[in-house]
Each structure stands twice: as C-alpha cells, then as structure tokens.
Amino acid sequence: MASDTPDGPPAGAAAARPRRHPLRSALAVVLILAAALLTAPAVVAAWAASEIDDTDRYLATVAPLARNPAVQAAVTDRVTTAVVDRLPADLLPGATGDNPLGDLLQQFAPALGAGLAGLVHGLVRDIVTSDAFPAIWTAVNRDAHAALDDALAGRDGAVTITDDTVTLDLAPVVEQVRAGLVADGVAAAAAIPDVDATYTLVRSDRVGATRDVLRRLAEYGFRVPVCAVACALAGVLCAVRRRRALTAAALAMAAAAAALGTALVLLRGRYLDRLPADVDRAAAAAVYDALVRHLHGAVRTVVVLGVIVALGAWLGGPGRAPRQVRGRCRAGLGRVRTAVGATGARPGPVGRFVHRRKPWLSAAAVAAAAVVLVLRPYPTALVVLGLAAALLVVLAVLELLDTGGPGAAGPTAGKEAR
C-alpha cells in the first residue's frame, strides 16, 4: 500500500542497523536495572518526605479517620477508661465515712460506678461522633505533625514512637469531656487532673526498625526519585537501541512500583494478623489504609506513567504493528482534514509553518507535558492520564494543520526519526 511507504524501512535497512557495542549495552542494562531497583525506595522516600515536610498533606492523610466508626469507637473507649480511672475517689457524696448513708452508698457503689462510667462513655461518644470532632482531630494531628521530627528522632512529643507502638496524645478530647461533665452537673469532674490518654496509631514489633528506615528515607527525600530517573535516562542514552531501552526502562520501573503496591497489600494482612488480641482490628485496618493511601496513589502514578511512556515509545517505533497503528490514525485524521477543507476552511500559512516545524512543535508539546508533570505537586494517576490525553490532542491538531505533510500531500514524506 502506498500509505505504508513513508513508515516502511528504507532499502538496505539491514545494512544500516547499528553496530553492536557490548560495553555500551552492558552499561545500559546495569543503569536500567539500577533505576528499577531504586523505584520502590524512591516512591517510599518521596511519600515519607511529603508526609513529614507537608503538614497539610499529613492532615489530609489522617483526616478521614475522624469519620471512621471503628476509630471513633476505639477513641471513645480509650478516653472513657482514662477519665473514669482518674475520677476523684470521693466523687459520690457520703460514699465514705461512718454514717448510714455512706454505708448504703457503698452497697450500691458498683452500680453507681457503672452508671457514672456509662455517663462518661455517652458524653465521650457524643463528642467523638459530633461534627466538632474532625476539628479536634485535626488540631491533635497538627500538633502531632509539629512533633513528628522529634518522634522520629526518639524524643517525646505529641506523637510518641517506641519499639512497638506509635501513639497519639488525646489530651484535647479529655479536656472536652471534663468540661462536658462539669456542664452536666458533675462538679467534681473539675478535679480530674491532666489525663495521659493516648490512642495507638500503629502497634507492631517492627515499629522501631521501620522508624529508622523512614527517617533515613525522609532525609534523602526527593533525591532518591531524581537518582532513579537519572539512572533510567543514562541507561537510555547509553543504549544502542534507545527506543527499546526507553520502553524497557519504563516497563521495569512500572513493574517495580507494582511490586511495591503488592507488597503493601500483603503487608496489611500480615500486620493485622500479628496484632495483639486487645487491639481493634477494624480500627487498625482503617489507620493502616489511611497512612498508606497516598503511598498507593504514588504507586499507581508511577505504574500509569511507565505504561504510557512505554506505549509511546513503542508506537513511535519502526515495527510493523506500530506503523499500522500510525497509518490508521493518519488516515482518520486525513479524512477529518478533507471534511474540514470541504467547508472552505484552510490553515494557510499556519499549515505550511506547522509542516516545516512539526518535529520541533511535537517535541515542545512533549516537553511541556513533562514540565507540567514535574512541577505539579503530588501528581496522581488521573493527572498523568489527563496530560497524556491532552498531549494526544495537541499532536492530532498538529497533524491536522500540517497541510503539506504525508497525510495531506500524498505518499511522499520524510522519514521518522528512530
């Protein structure tokens, strides 16, 4: 077919194949493997740095927990126990002393204590399930984030990290409960001292080791992703067949990110199975899912980006299948161009300019998409897909405006760069 001629291999293509360079090829393989091996640490390092350095991002991570029923129930039970344990011993008038009323109250002390505990529990539950609790939860976690560096370093603060637990200080919730008890007529509740009520965010025998790893990764921050990308680019530049190397690097890094996502899922099940019996599994699962939510998002972003880059490199290649795909796309765009031309619309000088500068304009469009992706904070998989779709639209528009191109002027055309 004449339409396939521009994309077909030139005469003597076999003789024009690049010569073998074993050292360059070996170096390219090593660099691409290094990029793949660095992908998982790079994703975790970027996530750790963002959670530590960006308070708003950390708050967005833990904010859904304020509305989670399992977490609300666990916080309610923990605060209730802490408050009831520290109620004044002489809270019931006449409960002690040598008088008939005191003896009577002592007989009913268990029932009265249970009733008082129920009162405290109901008050705490009302606070935790109210619309005001998310603001309290945000304030607690904002203070916690301010102390996160201290916690990672092993110093005390609003967040405490020991060898097996990560705890969050719930003192503001206790203050709300104390004020509520006083307002409900339990004046003696004003004597409740500052209660050390903590909520366990994470409990595992690997917390200490994980803390050390996260601290080191957070110190390197976004330098690890830059190093991974640099290794991939260096591998592609060293390769003899750069298009194939780009495809391999993109797929290798996408596979490494997918392996990290799989490991996070497997780790979730193992973590929940090893929890002590006194820990609410539903609440622990909610906390785990919240803490790794952005990490899963980063994994999806890398996977989608890798697949799109590999697909783009493949579609631009000289193989028969990509040439057929390109030919069909050009044929479709040619029909659109013909239909538009039938209405009398002509690109004129713009079309001739696009024809002369189309490779540079296409490269500029790709570079612009890359710049937007790099400069956008925390791009998601949807952002990557949106940028890819926008890039395809721009390239299609350039093809439509190219009135002197192969799809408009006939079968004679320039050769594609490989």
pLDDT for the residue numbered 41: 92
> 204: which 2 tokens?
């595992």
Specify if 268 maps to a domain.
no
Range of the domain at 173: 53-216
The C-alpha atoms of residue 64 and residue 83 are separated, in whole angstroms, by: 25
pLDDT, mean of residues 332-354? 78
Per the prediction, the chain carries an average pLDDT of: 77
Name the more confident of 65 and 206: 65
**For the chain, how many structural domains are there in total?**
1
Sheet with 198-203, edge to edge strand ranges: 159-161, 165-169, 198-203
pLDDT for the residue numbered 265: 94
Looking at the predicted structure, is the pLDDT value of residue 407 above 70? no
The C-alpha atoms of residue 381 and residue 379 are separated, in whole angstroms, by: 7
pLDDT for the residue numbered 97: 46
Highest mean pLDDT among 10-19, 40-49, 210-219: 40-49
Specify if 265 maps to a domain.
no
CB < 8 Å & 24+ apart, contacts of 332-340: 333/396, 333/399, 333/400, 333/407, 334/407, 334/408, 336/400, 337/400, 337/403, 337/407, 337/408, 340/400
Specify if 94 maps to a domain.
yes
Specify if 372 maps to a domain.
no
Specify if 162 maps to a domain.
yes
The half-sphere exposure of 304 on its side-chain side, counting CA atoms within 13 A, is 18
> 85: which 2 tokens?
């344990």
Specify if 387 maps to a domain.
no
Specify if 210 maps to a domain.
yes
Band of pLDDT at residue 412, cut at 50, 70 and 90: very low
What's the pLDDT tens digit per position in 131-167?
888 888 888 888 777 666 555 555 555 555 555 566 7
Task: Pick the closest to residue 39 from 240, 227, 292 (CA basis).
Answer: 227
What's the pLDDT tens digit per position in 179-235?
776 776 666 566 666 666 677 766 665 665 666 677 777 777 788 999 999 999 999
pLDDT for the residue numbered 95: 44
Looking at the predicted structure, is the pLDDT value of residue 281 above 80? yes
pTM assigned to the model? 0.76
The answer to whether the CB of 43 falls within 8 A of the CB of 257 is yes
Specify if 391 maps to a domain.
no
